Every structure is written in C-alpha cells, then in structure tokens.
Amino acid sequence: MVKREIKKAVLAYSGGLDTSIILKWLQDEYKCEVVTFTADLGQGEEVEPARAKALKFGIKEENIYILDLKEEFVKDFVFPMFRANAIYEGEYLLGTSIARPLISKKQIEIAHATGADAVSHGATGKGNDQVRFELGYLSLDPSIAVIAPWREWDLNSRTKLLKYAEEHGIEIDKKGKKSLYSMDANLLHISYEGEILEDPNHEPEEDMWLWSVSPENAPDEAEYITISYKFGDPVAINGEEMTPATLLTALNAYGNKHGIGRIDIVENRFVGMKARGCYETPGGTIMLKAHRAIESITLDREEAHLKDELMPKYAKLIYNGFWWSPERKMLQASIDATQETVNGEVKLKLYKGNVMVVGRKSDESLYSEEHSTFEEDEVYNQADAEGFIRLNALRFIIEGKKQPERIKNLVGELKL
C-alpha cells in the first residue's frame, strides 16, 4: 500500500495502549508531524497525564490539545438527543454514539487551527466508531485526509501491540496485563464489550459493573427527586438549578446509588454483525423516564405520536454516525419545535433499579381534570361519543353490507 504524503495529522489521543502506539506508528510510517487531541467528556479518568506522554514522543507543547468538553457534550449533544427520547433497538441510550460527533468536530477545528491536512483515530475496522468518526470528519471537511491505522497495519492483536510497544520503547501502564473488557466511558454512560461477553449466553460477573451497585444491594428505602424542565431540557433537581454537565453528574450519582441504568443487549452494528454489550447509563435512564413524563401532559396527542414514530429513525441516524447529516438536522428542528411547551416538574421515585414517575405538573399542561373525571361534569356530553364511534365505524358498516362473505371469512365460525 502506497502511503499518502501527509504533513501533519491530528490524532484522537487518550494516552492508552492503542493510541500511544498509533502516535509512534504515524511518526514512523507517515513521517508526519502529529498533533494530539484528548477530550475530557467526563469519563472519570485523569486526562492530563496524556500531556506528559505526548511530550515523551516529541510532540511540541503547542501541538498538545487537552479540552474539557463536558458542558458542550451535554448541552449540545446529549440534551438534543434526549429531547427526541432517542433509544436504539428499544434499549440502547446511545452513550458512545453521541460522543463521536463532538470528538470529530473538535479534531477538524484543531486541524484547521494547526494547518493539519489529516486526522486519525484508533477505532478498529470491525466496529461502528470508524464510521461515526469518519462520517463526521468528511461532513465537516470533505478535503481532509483520514488515517485509520487498524485498517492499514498488521498489529491485529494485543500481543502484537505489546511487542510493538516494547520494541519502540513505549511505556504502557500495567504493560502485559490483559484488560478483561473493552470499555468506553463518558458522562452519559460506560460500556463493556469483549472477553466473556462475546458469548451472549454468559452472564457478566458482578464486579464488571463499575458505576452502580447491584439492584439487590441498593438502599432498602426509596428516594424521591424532582426534575424541572424548560423547553424540553432538565434545568434543576429538587429546585436547585444546575449547568447541563453538573445536572447529569448529579443524576448519575442518584442512579448509581439505586442500581439504575444497567442493560445487557445484543445490538445490530452498522457494519453488519451482531455484537453483545453491557452498558450503565444511570442518569440517562432517569432523564428518559422524566422527559417522557413531562411530555405526557404538555404535548398534543398527535404531536407526541408523530415524535414516537420519528424517534427510531432519529436514533438509527445517531447510532450509524449521521449526526451531521441534513436529515438528522431536519428531524432535530422538528423535534425542537415540539419542546416549546415542555416545561414543568416531574417527581420520581428511585428504588432498587427502578425509576417510577409519581407526579408531573406544568403551567402548560393539557391534562383536564374536568374532562377526564369519573365524577359528574358539565363539559363533556357522553352521548356525543355514539356519533364519534359510528362515524369511525362507517367504513366497516358499509363493507359489511357490500361484502358480507368477506366479513364472514374474517370472523370464522362466529355467527353474525
């Protein structure tokens, strides 16, 4: 394979095994200058050590970017996604998927700021992330060159990676110790893949879960919280206003305490195969329940139903990496237009893995007690329902008269 001529590349760099090797590999294989970019998305690990590691590789200080993106991540990516109640294949809250467009965006911004002509990532050729990263890059800069080492090199096993590290003097923390799972974390979730999880019939070990107590060991007493909403976004917990990242952090703490947000799924990857993964999304699980609750009293019926019909398409676009696509932006505009009246409070009960809605109120609520009461009222004439029903049944009545044999076949032995 003929190497492209690359002058400078921006690498999404964590400082871990894979990206440390990629950094050295880029220098050796492409003979290019490397700019490192480390994103703090609330993954719970120190990101600053990546600076020292990059300096050891000879990266110039001005070419080392370590950015705190937690607020931008939640405000501009997580919250818009939750306005849609997005969930992929009925269970996955898209924690990894939604982080990739932000990382892609920042890599392109850094490339433009530093005059780089390429970007690089550490995603493998089997997964979704390579697609998500690269669709992001090319959507934001069609002329950028993309280097995906896992599709080029022959270092296709951990053993080969460790040997490469040893031969090139790359210091890796706990070198030689095999990590049990492949994990990805940010402020929204943490994921686990690989090893024993590759057997979809093998229950994960309890000590795999890092963010939450098991529901069995969660407190025996329920806890109540109230989330306030404004234009479809959560803005306060128990009356205390918070920034987006601070609020999600607080919800994570509540969820972790009560064993909320664990799932074990087999999902259909965009590249074709099925993959088993386990996820902890404590704060997101609480947010989804609360958002649907406040929408239940503030959205018109058909508006809410149409949102639910659009949601699987929206979620699939995010899962497959099309955040920057025109169709996702079009759907987002429609979704956001529905959120103008999604204001109010939701009261939740948290108990042993469960999130239960126990109250919701809004100044813009469409719920009418006088119409829905079982007691006597003066606003609804129950006799009106007869005409409503007969008009909706009119086509059935006509069909029954015009095509009686067809109706008999439909009802089988039942005598009309």
Cite the active site residues.
18, 100, 129, 182
Q: What are phi and psi of 91, to 5 degrees?
A: -140, -35
The CA R_g of the chain, rounded to the nearest whole Å, is 26
Secondary structure (3-state) at 25? helix
Cβ contact 335:314 at 8 Å: yes
| Spatial distance between the Cα atoms of 346 and 350, rounded to a whole number of angstroms | 13
Cβ contact 188:286 at 8 Å: no
Tokens in use for 347? 């009261």
Residues near 177 by Cβ (< 8 Å), separated by ≥ 6? none
Tokens in use for 229? 């909403």
| Spatial distance between the Cα atoms of 332 and 277, rounded to a whole number of angstroms | 28
- What angle is formed at CA 191 by the lines to CA 228 and CA 110, rounded to 5 degrees? 80
Nearest by Cα to 216 from 262, 255, 258, 264: 258
Query: Which amino acid is it at 124?
Result: T
Cα–Cα distance list, 50 to 24, 61, 116, 161, 201 (Å)? 14, 12, 20, 19, 37
